[in-house]
Amino acid sequence: MSTVAPPEAAPAPAAAPPPAEHDGFRARLRFVQAWHLVLALASAYVLANIAAGVWALDSLPRTALGVIGAVGVAANLLVLWPIHRRRHVARAFSFTMLYGAILGAGAVLAEVLGLYEGLDLFAGAFQAAFWQLVIVGVGFAWFVVARRVERRAGEGSAGAASARWLARAGLVVAALGGVWWLIALDIPAGLRYVWDNIAASPTQALVLALITAGSLVAARFMWSPDAALYFRATAKQSDRMVGWMYLSPNLVGFLAFFAFPLAFSLVISFFDWDGLTSPSFVGGANYWATLQDPLFHQSLTNIFWFMIMAVPLSVLSALILAVLIHTNYPGVKLFRAVFFVPSVAGVIGVTLIWKGLFNAQTGTINWSIGRVGEWVNAVLPGDPVPERVEIGWLSDPSVPFGLPQVWWLPSIALITVVIVFAWAQFGFNTVLFSAGLQSISKELYEAAELDGANSWQRFRNVTIPSLRSTTFFVTATTVILCLQLFDIVYALNQPNPVGFPNNATLTPVVYLYQLGFQQNAFGLASAVAWVLFILIFFFTLAQFRRQRAEVEG
C-alpha cells in the first residue's frame, strides 16, 4: 500500500526586522544622539561667552541667557541616557528639546536676516501693490463665473465653448495681474535686503541655519512611527504627543507673549530701571514707594467710586433689559442685536463719539439740557434754569450737585467715564442674563403663578434666586473690568494728559501707564501692576468663597 507524502508546508514569510535592526534607522538614531551633543556644545558656547563677558549685555538679559544656556547643556546631556536605554519618555523629551531649538534658532535667524523689520517693508510694498492684487482677484472671479456658465450651458453647446474661452481669458487676466503684482512688490529688492543682512553676519547666519535645519531633521525622525516602535511608545502616549503638538502654537504664544512678560515684570518690580540703562536691584522699595504715593491712593479712591457707580448701573440695567427681552414681545430679536452693538463696537471709536456728545460748547448732551431748560423756563415763572448750559463733563474736577469739595467724593469727569463704561458694558451683560433666564425652568413660574404670585413676586422669588450664579459671574467680571479701566479714560482725555482733569479720572492702570510710558519708571510700574493683580486676585477669591458658601448653605 503506497502512501502519499503530505505536501510540504510553504515556508512562512520572513518577518520584518524591528526598526533597531535597520542600518538606516541606527544611523538616524546616532545622528539624533550626536545632534543633542551639538546642541549641548552650542549651549555651553553661550554660557562661555556670558562668563567671559564677550557679549555686552545688561544683568537681566545676561541672567536670562545664562539660565537658557545651563538648561540647554543639562537637558541635552541628560536625554542621551534614556535614548540609549530605549525609555519611552526619551522620545517626547528629545522631541520637545529639538522643537525648542527649532523655535529658538529660527527666531534668532529671522532677527539676523532682518525678517522682522522686513515685515514692515513688505507691508508697505503690499499696500502699494494692492490694486494689482485686485486685478488677480477679478481675473480669478471671472474664471469661476465662466466655468459655472460653461457647466450650465452643457457640454458641446455654443454657449459652453464661449464660456470656456472666457474662463481662459480670466486665467490670463489673473496671471498678468499676478506678474504685475510681483513686479510691484519688488521681489529683487527684498532678496537684496536679505542678502545684505546675510553678508553682514555670514558666520552667524550659517550656524543658526544649520542648527535650525539639523534640529528639523532630528525632530522629524523622533516623530516617525519607527521611532515610536523603537521607544515602545503606546498608542495613548503617541496620541498625547500629537495633542501637545497641536497645542504648541498656542502654548508657545502664551509662554512668549504672556507668561514670560508676566515673569519679567515680577522680576523687574524689584529693580530700578528706566528701560535704557542697566537695572539696579532695590528690593521691595518699589512696592513701599507705591503704597506711600498719594497719587496711588487717589487712583484707588477714584476706582472705588467708579465701581460703586458703574457696577450697579451696568448690572441692574442689563438685568432689567434681559427680563424685558425675555418677555418675547414682537421685535425682541432685533432689540437684542441692537443692545449688543456696544459690546462689539470698537471701544476707542465709541468713546470718541461720546467725547463729542459730552463737549461743553458743542456737545449734543448740553444742547439737549438747554432745550429742556427752555421748556421749563417757559412753564415755570422766574426762569429757574440758565439760558446756556455748559457743563464741563470732561474737564470739571468738582463734585456734582453742589456737594462739599472733598477729595474722596467723585467728580463730574469721573461720572462721565462711568456713563460711557456702563453704556459699553451693559449689552454684553444683557446677553449673559438672557442666557441665564432661558435656563430657568418654566415649571417654577407656573407653580408660583398657581400660588397667586404676581409679576413682582415671581421676579423676586423665582428669577433673582435662579440667576444667582449668572449674577455672580456678571458682577465679578464687571468689577475686574473696572479695576483694569484704561482705554475709555485714555480716549476721553486726549489730547490732555491721562488722568485729566487734576487726576480726577486717575485709575490704577492709568497711574501704571504714567509711570511706565511717560516717566520711564518701569520698576515702579511693574510694582503697581503686581499690587493691582493682588487686589484683583483677593477680590475674586473672596467672591468665589462667598458664592460657594451660598451654594453650600
For residues 326 and 433, membership in a common domain is answered with yes
pLDDT at position 528 is 92
Q: DSSP 3-state assignment of 272? A: strand
Residues 325, 416: one domain?
yes
User: Which pLDDT score, from 0 to 100, does residue 368 have?
Assistant: 85
Check whether residue 347 and residue 224 sit in a common domain: no
Residue 12 within any structural domain of the chain: no
Whether 281 is in a domain gets the answer no
CATH number reported for the structural domain that contains residue 368 in this entry = 1.10.3720.10
Residues 105 and 54 in one domain: yes
294 and 355 in a single domain? The answer is yes
CA distance 546 to 552: 10
Residue 8 lies in a domain: no
Taking the CA of residue 230 as centre, how many other CA atoms within 13 Å lie in the half-sphere pointing to its CB?
23
Its domain, for residue 50, covers 19-116+202-272
Residue 237 sits in the same domain as residue 346 = no
Are both 528 and 440 inside the same structural domain?
yes
What confidence score (pLDDT) does residue 210 get?
94
HSE toward the beta carbon, residue 429, CA cutoff 13 A: 29
Same domain, 106 and 234: yes
544 and 507 both lie in a single domain: yes
Sole residue written with cell 514707594 = 289
Does a structural domain hold residue 283?
A: no
User: Which triple of cell numbers denotes residue 33?
Assistant: 544622539
User: How many angstroms separate the CA atoms of 433 and 446, rounded?
Assistant: 21
Q: Do residue 390 and residue 336 come from a single domain?
A: yes
State whether 531 and 502 are in the same domain: yes
DSSP 300-315: HHHHHHHHHHHHHHHH
Looking at residue 232, its pLDDT comes to 86
Domain termination residue (choose one: 198, 225, 253) = 198
Could you give the residue ranges of the DSSP H alpha helices within 358-411? 364-379
Q: Is residue 297 part of a domain?
A: yes
For residue 502, give every residue at least 6 positions away whose Cβ sits within 8 Å of its Cβ, in sequence order, or none: 397
Evaluate whether residue 279 is within a structural domain. no
Encode the chain (553 residues) as per-residue pLDDT tens digits: 445 444 444 454 444 445 555 667 888 999 999 999 999 999 998 888 877 776 666 666 777 788 888 999 999 999 999 998 888 888 999 999 999 999 999 988 988 888 888 777 777 777 888 888 888 888 888 888 888 887 877 776 777 778 888 888 888 888 998 888 888 887 788 888 888 888 888 888 999 999 999 999 999 999 988 888 888 888 888 888 889 998 988 988 888 888 888 888 998 899 888 877 778 889 899 999 999 999 999 899 889 999 999 999 999 989 988 888 887 777 777 777 777 777 777 778 888 888 888 888 888 888 888 888 778 777 777 666 666 667 788 887 776 655 555 555 678 888 889 999 998 888 888 888 988 888 888 888 888 888 888 888 888 888 888 888 889 889 989 999 998 899 888 888 887 777 777 888 889 999 999 898 888 899 999 999 999 999 888 888 888 887 777 766 6
Q: Which helix (H) or strand (E) holds 271?
A: strand 271-272
Determine the residue type at 527.
A
230 part of a folded domain = yes
Q: What is the pLDDT of residue 496?
A: 77
**Sign of torsion, CA 358 359 363 365?**
positive
Return the pLDDT at 7: 47
Residue 14 within a domain: no
Instruction: Give CA torsion, residues 34, 40, 43, 47, to 10 deg.
Output: -140
Confidence (pLDDT) at 402: 54
Assess contact for 136 and 178: CB atoms under 8 A.
yes
**Of the residues 181, 198, 215, the one at which a domain ends:** 198
User: Which residue type, as a one-letter code, is found at position 447?
Assistant: A
**Which element (helix H / strand E) includes 281?**
strand 280-281
Residue 66: which residues within 8 A CB-CB, separation 6 or more?
46, 47, 50
Angle among Cα 128, 130, 134 to the nearest 5 degrees reads: 155
Cβ(231)–Cβ(88) below 8 Å: yes
Question: What is this structure's pTM?
Answer: 0.71
> How many domains would you assign to the chain?
3
* 457 and 464 Cβ atoms separated by less than 8 Å: no
Instruction: Say yes or no: 320 and 395 in one domain.
Output: yes
End position of a domain, from candidates 243, 272, 301: 272
**342 near 427, Cβ under 8 Å?**
yes
Identify the CA nearest to 449 among candidates 440, 462, 468, 464: 462
